Structure 1
Amino acid sequence: MSESGLRADAERNRQLILAAARELFASEGVGVSMRQIALRAGVGEPTLRRRFASKGALLAETFQDRATAYADLAEQALDDPDPWHGFVTFVEQVAGMQLADRGFTEVLTMSFPESIRFAKERRRAYTAFQQVIARAQEAGRLREDFVPEDLIMLLLAHAGVVAGGGGQAGRFSARLIAYLVHAVKATAEAEPLPPAPSAAETYGELRRLSRSAGSAKDRPS
């Protein structure tokens, strides 16, 4: 077979693997093994590992488009003429993305430093969301002690609802997000919050979750 033929076969296998990974991660979460993904794709596990050397690399590539959409939503929220509406809409939209894709629910609270593209989109989202927070606080609508790391906490809480809500996950999701939005709204009666983890501490936990997904959960089935 010619070199171009080999390249075509390799790209076809790559697309089969990514399609299988998207389907399994969305329905079952990131705990599915590389072997399961290879079986669904119809390729051997060695072929899969030639294309993606680690589970983390496969996760980052599979969810690259979601990471881009996440960052786009943050920038759209920043463009909203109503700072509070922009903040609330962003939180609701990201919760909707979690609800629609179980894998994204987990990946959103992970970090993949080996993927430059994924990390770039995460930084773009973080930068925009910092400004979304500042605008809502300057408008007097968001409590002053809300910090970007609180979004991770909210998404972790929402992930639990998505994972455990079963057929009622959508209704639980809507109610939880409404509660959380109400809780962060600026009011004269708001009690001070306990201190949040620092950005470095939060990032460390995201790294830990990523290592867990890429190793402990990737045992042969």
Structure 2
Amino acid sequence: MTHATAHDETPGSDPNAGLRADAERNRDRILAAARCLYAREGLGVSMAAVAREAGVGKATLSRRFPTREELITAVFADRMDAYVQAVTEALADPDPWHGFTGYIEAICAMQAADRGFADVLTMTFPAAKALEESRAAAYRGLLELIDRAQATGHLHDDFTHQDIVILLVANAGVVAATSDDAPDTWRRLVGHMLRAAATPGTDTPPLPQPPASTVLYRAMIRLGRPSADAP
């Protein structure tokens, strides 16, 4: 008489395989939920909200991602790689001024596409080493990009890397305020920034049309409403 192995396993099979598969599915669900919530609402989303969206318990979320920084790192690893790639491509442009303007437009477009990433580019996460290493690599490339653009005479000599941070902070605010009603408003801000950075006589990308007054008004009304999470 033969006896079935536990859980109908064949000899030599891994009894923990099912548990690992469940853990991986939970991880994928958490990341998908976090990406969706961060993109829509920014990094202010709570870990509890991510767990609810993923359909898992808080304990499960904590086992997979013990800290907020670890979750943010996992969610935005690919976007940070794209951020580094953007400056690499800009440095490869034979026209340093064109490379500079293309870089500014590219990173601001990344912010506009994902409110969470808009926040990531204007915040630091000391505990998220991989994320900060990517940021540091992009920063080194940016310094070189600024130097090259200034050497052409097209970028003001007093333009600094801090001005990029100021632009990203401003763009994050514009994206947050207008993404629902006038999602292309950020392009107007970037157009003005590039004109301000350029020396007289330098060709700059055409200035996009401003959003209609009605949609800006709706955005202002939305900003004045209390947050759903407010006490």
Q: Count the aligned residue pairs.
A: 189
1:100-111 alignment runs, 5 A limit: 100-111=113-124
Query: Whose helix fraction is larger, Structure 1's or Structure 2's?
Result: 1
CA distance in 2, matches of 1:21, 1:164: 21
- The answer for the alignment partner of 1:78 in structure 2 is 91
CA distance in 2, matches of 1:154, 1:173: 10
- The answer for the alignment partner of 1:136 in structure 2 is 149
CA distance in 2, matches of 1:3, 1:110: 39
Among 63, 68, 78, which residue is 1:55 paired with?
68
1:116 lines up with 2:129 in the alignment:
yes
Report 1 or 2 for greater relative contact order, CA contacts < 8 Å, sequence distance ≥ 6: 1
Segments of structure 2 that go 5 or more residues without pairing to the other structure are 1-6, 8-14, 202-228
Letter in 2 for 1:154: L
CA distance in 2, matches of 1:124, 1:13: 32
Among 42, 59, 77, which residue is 1:46 paired with?
59
Segments of structure 1 that go 5 or more residues without pairing to the other structure are 189-218
Letter in 1 for 2:38: F
CA distance in 1, matches of 2:111, 2:189: 13
TM-score (norm 1): 0.81
- CA-CA distance at 1:164 after TM superposition: 0.9
CA distance in 2, matches of 1:10, 1:51: 8
TM-score (norm 2): 0.78
Deviations 1:133-165 (A, max 9, x none): 010001111111111121111000111111111
Question: Which is higher, the Rg of structure 1 or of structure 2?
Answer: 2
CA distance in 1, matches of 2:43, 2:126: 17
- The answer for the alignment partner of 1:98 in structure 2 is 111
CA distance in 1, matches of 2:114, 2:50: 17
Letter in 2 for 1:99: A
- CA-CA distance at 1:50 after TM superposition: 0.9
Deviations 1:159-184 (A, max 9, x none): 111111131131x2111100000001
Q: What secondary structure sits across from 2:131 in the alignment?
A: helix
